[in-house]
Amino acid sequence: MISKDNIIHLIDERIQELGNNLYVVELSISAKNVIRVEIDKLEGNVSVDECVSISRNIEHNLDRDNEDFELHVSSAGLDKPFRHINQYKKNIGRMIQVKSIEEGKMEGRLSTVDDKGIKLIRSEKKRIEGRKKKEVVEEEFQFDFDQIKETKIVVSFK
């Protein structure tokens, strides 16, 4: 069985060489030696070259004669839920959808992130007493990370 610690070491080694704020979102090794690595970046998007660089560092330092393996290195996709606090930090100001234990699904703009959780600002039109037209009202919601089941970016083509 391929050592997870060895794979982490090889990934960290290349990330340090590249020096561009990459981090591992998820790493898994199956019983059949299928290695899946998902990476992301604090600012900007992960390039194909960065994925290839990490993939090559892993591949060149593992012995296929000793243990055969399948390797997949990719960026964290837009359609996948957040799995790392840095993904929240990277997306401050963007529209997200949060599925929480207590509130259910809620969409809004991610306003702040700290070690405990996030703040979400939801805007909606509401009728205010004494006024004829509905007005946009902003409400702020606080979610602790242990209350969040899933968070995804809201993809909009407007």
- Give the mean pLDDT of 3-25: 92
What CATH number belongs to 85-153?
Answer: 2.30.30
pLDDT at 131 over 90: no
| Every domain of the chain and the residues it spans | 4-75, 85-153
Does the domain spanning 4-75 belong to CATH 3.40.30.10?
Answer: no
pLDDT at 157 over 90: no
Residue 63 dihedral angles phi and psi, to the nearest 5°: -100, 110
Give the per-residue pLDDT at 142: 94
A 10 A CB-CB count for 68 gives 11
Query: Mean pLDDT score of the chain, rounded to an integer?
Result: 91
Task: Say which residues have a Cβ less than 8 Å from residue 72's Cβ, sequence separation at least 6.
Answer: 34, 35, 36, 37
Q: pTM of the predicted model, to two decimals?
A: 0.83
CA dist 105 and 124 (Å) reads 15
For residue range 71-120, list pLDDT tens digits in order: 999 998 888 999 999 999 999 999 999 999 988 899 999 999 999 999 99
Give strand pairing partners of 40.
Answer: 23
Same CATH topology for 4-75 and 85-153: the answer is no
Give the per-residue pLDDT at 16: 93
